[in-house]
Amino acid sequence: MYLSLTYQTVLLLLMLLLTTFLYLLVYTFWTRAKKKYWSRYKVKFRAMFMPLILDYIETANRQSDADDVIKKLTRRNEDIVLFLEILDEITEILNGDDRKKLNWLIKHALFDRFYRKKLYSNSVNAQLLACVYYSKSGYLNRKMTVRLISLISSRNTKVAYASAKVLQNSTNEYIRLNTLKSFFKRPDASSMMIGELLHLFHQNADKIYQMSGILLKQLLLQKDIPKDRKQLVIDYIAYHNLYEYSLFLRNYLQTVLYRFENKSLIVSLINALGELRVKEAGTLIRSYSTIQNAEIRICCVEALNQLGGSDNLSFITGMLLDIEFDVRKRIIQTLVQDPDNGHLLLEKFMLTYLKFVSKVWTSELPPNDMLVFINKLRSITTGIRITSANKALHFNPVQK
């Protein structure tokens, strides 16, 4: 009885194993066959529709000409997706009038009906497909806007992001701004997503440029927007050289109090002021260079160097005696790279302190704390020597 039970169990397990194996085998062959079928179908489909579309581009004169091509398309989901894929690829190659004709096809009522259903469905994939279509076609009406606004608070980050992208096609600036605000508040939004949305927001605002400027400022002043998101807005402004924000950024920096949690925001603001060459911000940046935080002081050095001018450079040289090694290093690197004023200031600094050192040597009883000071001077002169040697090697690589 005992043996027979073991035998039965083994048999059962073997059968289970065999069934699983057979199932996996069939599944593998079935998926392969399916994939093969679809790739063949895709090739056939492209071979059929590509010349049709290209002929259409050459001959079409009005929007209704698009109907002739669309008539040849079945209403199958796969065909619609494949057709739009081809259109998408051609759009990346052709421009001008050709693109206009392609847009007649893309914006055809058939696709609008097809994707609108998807937009209102509960499937995440369908919603995503619809958003991708509408962000390309640029079509947006009031009813869809309401739906897309509701999708920004979707649990799925991709859906929220895709709908925010579509809403950047809106002609209503406030809808676009509120989309950004809502999306910025999402903790799952990545910096890449925010960067792209900002770009779309600003890029599409050519006609109402001043207005978009005001709206970006509003984003920075909004209290409930996280600081890291504000930082991205500032980085965006600096990266795209949006000079019209120069004075606003300076005034904004004045309002940001120095606290540890504000450090990154302050660093971004100082970097942006430097990159935008906001001369009026020189005094303010100099005042930030006294803050006991090496990261802030380093970015102050860089920003003051970018602003240029004898006042700022002399100030940087004065900071050479800074307590932090990294700050001193950055100052030396900055001044060594400036063959005119930088070299003169370094020379002046060295001469002043050499005189001081010789005084210490000649005095009979130098104070004890002088040793720390002299060590720092030695570190600075070594830094200057190393940086200069590196620069010389960089320009004359043969001497290596």
Partner 1 sequence: MLKGNVVVIEDDEITGILIKRIFEREFKFNFVLFRNGLEGLEYIQNNSPSLIILDIMLPGKNGFEILKELRESEAHKNTKIILLSAKSNSSDIERGFDLSADEYITKPFQQQEFVVRIRKLMRAS
Q: Which of 20, 31, 59, 95 binds partner 1 (CB under 8 A)?
A: 95
CA-to-CA distance for 307 and 336, rounded, in angstroms?
A: 17
- Closer by beta carbon to partner 1, 46 or else 376: 46
**By CB under 8 A, is residue 397 in contact with partner 1?**
no
Supply the minimum distance, in Å, between the C-beta of residue 197 and partner 1: 23
Mention every residue, 6+ apart, whose C-beta is less than 8 A from residue 349: 317, 320, 380
- Closer by beta carbon to partner 1, 50 or else 146: 50
**By CB under 8 A, is residue 360 in contact with partner 1?**
no
* Residue tagged 């005094």 (tokens): 283
- Closer by beta carbon to partner 1, 106 or else 232: 106
**By CB under 8 A, is residue 79 in contact with partner 1?**
no
**By CB under 8 A, is residue 94 in contact with partner 1?**
yes
Q: Which of 62, 64, 74, 96 binds partner 1 (CB under 8 A)?
A: 96
* Residue tagged 């960089």 (tokens): 394
Q: Which of 89, 188, 280, 326 binds partner 1 (CB under 8 A)?
A: 89
**By CB under 8 A, is residue 105 in contact with partner 1?**
no
Q: Tell which residue, 184, 122, 195, 196, has the closest CA to residue 159.
A: 122
Residue 33's SS3 state is helix
**Cβ atoms of 258 and 289 closer than 8 Å:** no
Distances (CA, A) of 144 to 28, 122, 139, 152: 41, 15, 9, 13
Identity of the amino acid at 81: V
Q: Which of 52, 63, 79, 90 binds partner 1 (CB under 8 A)?
A: 90
**By CB under 8 A, is residue 314 in contact with partner 1?**
no
Interface mask toward partner 1 for 41-60; x: CB under 8 A = ---------x---x--xx--
Supply the minimum distance, in Å, between the C-beta of residue 54 and partner 1: 6
CA-to-CA distance for 221 and 165, rounded, in angstroms?
A: 23
Mention every residue, 6+ apart, whose C-beta is less than 8 A from residue 2: none
User: What is the number of other CB atoms lying within 10 angstroms of the CB of residue 100?
Assistant: 13
Q: Is 308 left (phi over 0), alpha (psi -120 to 50) or beta?
A: left
Q: Which stretch binds partner 1 (CB under 8 A): 82-90, 130-138, 230-238, 287-295?
A: 82-90
**By CB under 8 A, is residue 61 in contact with partner 1?**
no
Interface with partner 1 (CB under 8 A): 50, 54, 57-58, 86, 89-99
